[in-house]
Chain A
Amino acid sequence: MDSYILDLGLNNLASVSNALSRIGRQPIQISSGAQLEDLSQGIVVLPGTGNFGAACQSLDSRGFRQPLLQMVGNSNFTLLGICLGMQLLLDESHEAEGRGLGIIGGDVATWSNSSLKTHIGWSQVTPVGGHKVSPDLPEDFYFVHSFHCRPKEEQSIWLRSQFHQENFVSGVRFENVFGVQFHPEKSSGAGQRLLEWIVRNRNA
Chain B
Amino acid sequence: MPRLRIIPTILLRGSTAVKGQGFDNWRVVGTAQAVATLHGSRKVDELVILDVGASSDGRLISPRLINSLASRLSIPFAVGGGIGSVADAAKLFEAGADKIIIGNAWRSNSELISQLSNTFGSQSVCCTIDSISPDQRVDSTWKKMFGENLKIQKAGQRLQDFGAGEILFNTVSLDGKMLGMDYEGIHALAEAVDIPIIASSGANKESFALAYDAGASAVGAGALFQFTEVAPSTIRNELAAAGYDVRQKIV
Contact = CB atoms under 8 A, between A and B. Distances in A.
A29 interface: no
Contact of B3 (A122, A190, A191): A122
A188 B74 contact: yes
A119 B71 CA distance: 25
Contacts of A22: 74
B76 A118 contact: no
Nearest to A141: B247
Contacts of A119: 2
B95 to A, nearest CB: 8
A49 B96 CA distance: 13
Given A140-B247, A188-B43, A192-B74, A121 B3 contact: yes
B2 A121 contact: yes
Nearest to A144: B123
B2 A191 contact: no
B123 A118 contact: yes
B5 A122 contact: yes
Interface stretch (A11-19, A61-69, A86-94): A11-19
B1 A122 contact: no
B87 interface: no
A146 B121 CA distance: 10
B88 interface: no
A12 B74 contact: no
A187 B247 CA distance: 11
Contacts of A123: 2-3
B165 to A, nearest CB: 7
A144 B12 CA distance: 27
A117 B3 CA distance: 16
Interface in A164-204: 164, 183, 185-192
A8 to B, nearest CB: 15
Contact of B96 (A12, A121, A190): A12
B251 interface: yes
B251 A189 contact: yes
Nearest to B43: A188
A185 B95 CA distance: 15
B18 interface: no
A12 B93 contact: yes
Contact of B74 (A121, A140, A163, A187): A187
B249 interface: yes
B3 A188 contact: no
A158 interface: no
Among A18, A122, A144, the one with the most B-chain Cβ atoms within 10 Å of its Cβ is A122
B193 to A, nearest CB: 13
A85 to B, nearest CB: 16
A123 B250 CA distance: 13
Nearest to B93: A12
Nearest to B94: A12
Nearest to B75: A188
A188 B76 CA distance: 9
Among B43, B165, B247, the one with the most A-chain Cβ atoms within 10 Å of its Cβ is B247
A39 interface: no
B238 interface: no
Interface string B178-221: 00000000000000000010000000000000000000010000
A186 B44 CA distance: 12
A119 B114 CA distance: 20
A49 B45 CA distance: 20
10 contacts: A14-B71, A18-B70, A22-B74, A118-B121, A122-B3, A139-B249, A140-B250, A143-B2, A190-B250, A192-B74
Interface of A: 12, 14-15, 18-19, 22, 49, 117-123, 139-140, 142-144, 146, 163-164, 183, 185-192
Given A19-B74, A49-B121, A192-B74, 9 more contacts: A12-B94, A118-B123, A121-B45, A140-B247, A144-B124, A186-B75, A188-B74, A189-B74, A189-B251
- The 7 closest A-B CB pairs, nearest first, are A121-B2, A122-B3, A118-B123, A140-B247, A122-B247, A120-B123, A14-B96
